[in-house]
Structure 1
Amino acid sequence: MFNADAHIEVKTIAGQLPVLVIDDALLNPQALVQMAVKHRDLFGYSPLNAYPGVGVTLPDAITAEMNQWLLTTARRYLPFRRIVESYTRLTMVTLPPEKLQPRQWLCHRDRPQQPLNQGVLASVLYLFKNEALGGTNFFLPKQQGEPLARMIHDSGQMSASEFGERYGFRPGYFNESNHWFEKVLNIPARWNRLIVYDGNIFHCGDIRSTNALSDDPEQGRLTFNGFFTCRKPLSCT
């Protein structure tokens, strides 16, 4: 599944784990696109997360191959001992800006509440050739502690008008720095490009060409996403 000759670049963010950018990651990325086309009717919205689109969970065999790649390749760059839990999905961003909820107006972290001896790695592989559909942005918070936690909490509780007025967010996809977050890294989209990063770094899709969003796997912003709960090295616990 994975290309042993893929090019790996390491991007740094001050005070954070590195972000890996792997070009030509898969031997046959078109196979995943074909899988998405074949099972298009299984894609759906998940009430359990704030992803602004549709997705479908992939078979355990594909997740196992991703796990093996992380253990043999990514572990050279990212500190973790073993993978405790994982799953992978095919997803497509589909919601127009006016349909977003307040919690979708800002960047996010993946499962921020973890035991001290565990961390979360995440991965995104771009399965589209229209690079205008957007890559991924990474942010650092300008505020910490209770104010940040309260704002994030309220994004899931307040009405759109109340949240926007109180915290200064505008409806739509979040792409640039503001009073709450500083954008520190942008990874442009590229066909068959994989990125792997610490899920506790604030991040979001760089969604600008919203008119091009589609639920057609051959036209839309199709990605292969992975989430991995990992055991940290003893020196990091």
Structure 2
Amino acid sequence: MTASAPSSLEYETFVSDGTPRAGEERLPNGDRLVSSPLTSTLIFGEEDAVLVDPPFTREQTEQVGDWVERSGRRLTHIYSTHGHGDHWFGTAELVKRFHDVTVYATRGTIEVMHQQATDGREQMWDKRFPGLIPDSPVLAQPIPADGFQLERNLIQAVEVGHTDTDETSVLHVPSIGLIVAGDVAYNGVHQTSSKAATAACRNGLRPSIASPRSSRARLWPATRTKTYRMIPPFSTEPGSTCWTPSGCSTKTRLPASSSTG
């Protein structure tokens, strides 16, 4: 990488398994309720990396931290796509582990984070997952309006309004055609929001790959994300993490030790 040229970026995903909920509620077959799986995305260049949507329990956060460490990159930024606690409660633990990390979110997301860190934890999160969630101070600062740089590559937040909560965003990486969609898109788990056209398509971003909330971390063409809907798995090969017209790319295949889905 020269001083004037951007490096080539890549990305990988890590799926944290759902966590069983406390309480008496059960599924019709008698099984305990379990939280949805969560996809964390690592975008990286030759030296540095950005983590999108860290998980929420201590155990999940430790596993994601180990995965980031194995990448060999320096974690420079953490970004959360929206304010639901399962997309950011582990942030403070990661900041302790990886020094000099800048934490970003949109202003609207930060407002939702403050609610989730107080009333949200008291009324829901700590009741459903008692003792499993670390301290969760809101460390995020507003992402600059024009985005930020990862090894001279632009990374931008795009606000999409309400999905399964208010003040949601996606993270756009134009140089590699990637949108990290958070809960704007679902794959392999039941959606929790009404059907609507995704802002990623409405705004003309035209990404080639979308990283959804997923039980298998499969990535799929953004042309298939025009509405909220279940996207069937296109590959059943163990370890598959993507689908493109040309098939799964080795650069986005997770190590066996990282894939928990």
Q: TM class, shorter-chain normalised?
A: under 0.3
TM-score scaled by length of structure 2: 0.25
Select the structure with the greater relative contact order (CA < 8 A; seq sep ≥ 6): 1
TM-score scaled by length of structure 1: 0.27
Greater per-residue strand proportion: 1
